[in-house]
Structure 1
Amino acid sequence: MQGLDDLGGQGRKRRITEEVRSRIIALVKTVPPGPLRWERTPSASRTRLT
C-alpha cells in the first residue's frame, strides 16, 4: 500500500523548540537553591485565616 508511511504534519505543531524543551526538562530535574520553607502571608495573618 503506497503512501501509508507518508503521514508527516499530523497533530498540533510544537510551540517551543526542542532545545528549549530540553532546557526546561533539565531545570525541572535540578534541586532548587536554598532551603524550602512555607511562610504565612501578611494578609493571612491579619485576617486570621491561618
Structure 2
Amino acid sequence: MYAALWRVLPGPVWLRIILLLLLLAAAVFALFTWVFPWVDGIVNPIEVTVDT
C-alpha cells in the first residue's frame, strides 16, 4: 500500500515527502475533528462494568 502511494505521488523525493506529511496531517485533523467525537458519542467510557 505504501509503495503504491509513493508511486502515485508526483514530483521528486523531497516533494513526495512534503505531500505525505500534508496527507498525514490532514488525516490526523479529520480523525480529531470528526471521527473521535463521533465514536465518543457511541462509546461512553464513564459507564464501566468492572466492579472494584
Instruction: Indicate whether the TM-score tops 0.5.
Output: no
Is the radius of gyration larger for structure 1 or structure 2? 1
Q: With structure 1 as the length reference, what TM-score do the two structures score? A: 0.32
More helix by share: 2
Q: TM-score, normalised by structure 2?
A: 0.31
